[in-house]
């Protein structure tokens, strides 16, 4: 409030027209949401059926024996990890297998499925393209 009064000491008076019009600002009959997604269907009989799969559910694993806590100690040295790219994952996971098979003479260009290559994204739940997962 102190900073606002210093502003009001200026020459301009009036309401803040550029502020965002939220659900708190209009009349009490004015129904405005705050950007939440629907969790069911509205029927023609104006009834609302809630669909369980549309309600987000938090999947939390058992944190027994989990060592990481909310904050990091000041004694930790600063630093960064190399960024995780597709190239680095390939180099860590697939490249050693291919190298081993090539040296044994078993490597076959036609049989890349055993290294994790997916030629089709059809029956998968999480498709790489078009990407339908967040992370």
Partner 1 sequence: MRLTALLSMAARVVVPKDYRFGTNRPWTVAAKRLNPAGKKRRKVFVEPLAPADWSVLKGDTVQILTGKDQGKQGKVIQVFRHRNWVILEGLNTHHRYIGKTEDYRGTYIASEAPIMLRDVALIDPSDRKPTNVQWKFTEEGDRVRVSLRTGRIIPKPVVERRDGIVPQQWKDGPKDTSPEDTLEKTYVPSLKTLEEDVMEKMGIQETRRNKRSYWY
Residue 75 touching partner 1 (CB under 8 A): yes
DSSP lists the bridge partners of residue 41 as 49
Supply the minimum distance, in Å, between the C-beta of residue 32 and partner 1: 19
Residue 7 touching partner 1 (CB under 8 A): yes
| Region from 21-29, 34-42, 65-73, 99-107 binding partner 1, contact rule CB under 8 A | 65-73
Q: Which is nearest to 116 in space by CA: 135, 98, 134?
A: 98
Q: Is omega for the bond preceding 20 within 30 degrees of 0, making it cis?
A: no
Distance CA 89, CA 69 (A): 27
Among 70, 83, 103, 120, binds partner 1 (CB under 8 A): 70
Element spanning 98, H or E: helix 95-104
Element spanning 8, H or E: helix 2-8
Distance CA 132, CA 127 (A): 6
Residue 114 touching partner 1 (CB under 8 A): no
Among 28, 30, 67, 109, binds partner 1 (CB under 8 A): 67
Distance from chain centroid for Cα 6:
41
Supply the minimum distance, in Å, between the C-beta of residue 18 and partner 1: 5
Count residues near partner 1 (CB under 8 A): 36
Supply the minimum distance, in Å, between the C-beta of residue 10 and partner 1: 9
Positions in the binding site for partner 1 (CB under 8 A): 3-4, 7-8, 12, 14-19, 59, 61, 67-77, 88-89, 92-94, 116, 123, 125-126, 132-133, 135
């Amino acid at each position: 409030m102190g900073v606002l009064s210093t502003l009001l000491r200026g020459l301009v008076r009036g309401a803040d027209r550029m502020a965002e019009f939220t659900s708190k600002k209009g009349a009490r009959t004015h129904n405005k949401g705050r950007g939440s997604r629907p969790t069911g269907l509205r029927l023609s009989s104006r009834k609302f059926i809630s669909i369980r799969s549309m309600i987000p559910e938090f999947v939390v694993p058992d944190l027994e024996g989990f060592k990481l806590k909310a904050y990091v100690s000041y004694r930790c040295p600063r630093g960064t990890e190399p960024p995780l790219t597709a190239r680095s994952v390939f180099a860590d996971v697939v490249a050693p297998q291919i190298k081993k098979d090539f040296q044994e003479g078993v490597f076959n260009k036609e049989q890349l499925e055993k290294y994790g290559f997916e030629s089709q994204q059809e029956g998968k739940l999480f498709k790489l393209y078009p990407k339908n997962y967040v992370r």
